[in-house]
Amino acid sequence: MNQSRDIPGAIATFRRHGGVLRTGQALKAGIHPEALYRLREEGTLQQLARGLYRLSTVKEFRDPDLGVIAAKLPDAAVCLISALAFHGITTQIPRVVHLAVPRGSYARHRIDSLPVHIYKFDAANFEKGLEAHKFDGRPLRVYSVARTVVDCFKYRNKIGLDIALEALQLARTRKRTSNRELLEIARALRMDRVMGPYLQAIA
């Protein structure tokens, strides 16, 4: 593999990849480590996380945390309070990034620059309600409004029942989902008995 110390060429390579590259991707694309170092020292590259760089001239991520997730952990799914915030159905400000991975099929995920909490969801239902979004040009997997509300009830002992109730209220009053959709997912996740009274009260 021929690597070039050419600075303009390195910048052009970053631009071809949306302005963001991991170190390994940059090296495979032919950028020399010395070029990476120089661009970082000059301020042309910004370090978003360990081994993840963005051109300083590229528009910043709308949400830096989710931007890093989209770039570094594209297979994980944004869930619970982070998904509520993404959909605009909570008054909570996530203190950590809540991510889900299938139980039994992932090693430990870690991003040194971000506080991340990993939840291991049942692999059989992992894809249910999972949506594919574009976040600043990169794929980002986020659970739907209905799935997220149900998950909040499922994990109410960890995040608080008040957060789940608020999410249900906001999702319904803002017409982001229906009781029918919520009940369908609740049944799939065996949460219909828990959520039934709340759904009836809000109908």
Check: CB of residue 114 under 8 Å from CB of residue 68: yes
SS3 78: strand
Query: What domains, with CATH codes, occur in the chain?
Result: 7-55 (no CATH), 64-202 (3.30.460)
Taking residues 155-167, report their average pLDDT. 95
Per the model's pLDDT, the better-predicted residue between 13 and 107 turns out to be 13
Q: Per-residue pLDDT tens for 65-99?
A: 777 777 777 788 999 999 998 898 998 877 788 99
Confidence of residue 1 (pLDDT cuts 50, 70, 90): very low
Per the model's pLDDT, the better-predicted residue between 63 and 134 turns out to be 134
Q: Per-residue pLDDT tens for 24-37?
A: 888 888 899 899 88
In the predicted structure, residue 143 carries a pLDDT above the cut 50: yes
In the predicted structure, residue 53 carries a pLDDT above the cut 90: no
pTM for the whole structure: 0.68
Structure tokens at 102: 């299938």
CA-based nearest residue to 83, from 157, 18, 161, 176: 176
CA atoms within 13 A on the CB side of 179: 11
Confidence of residue 119 (pLDDT cuts 50, 70, 90): very high
Taking residues 28-48, report their average pLDDT. 87
Sign of the dihedral defined by the CA atoms of residues 163, 164, 167, 172, in that order:
negative
Q: Per-residue pLDDT tens for 3-12?
A: 657 888 888 8
Around Cβ 88, how many Cβ atoms within 10 Å? 11
**Angle 159-50-70 (CA atoms, 0-180°, nearest 5)?**
55
Sign of the dihedral defined by the CA atoms of residues 108, 52, 21, 138, in that order:
positive
Confidence of residue 171 (pLDDT cuts 50, 70, 90): very high
Separation of alpha carbons 151 and 59, rounded Å: 33
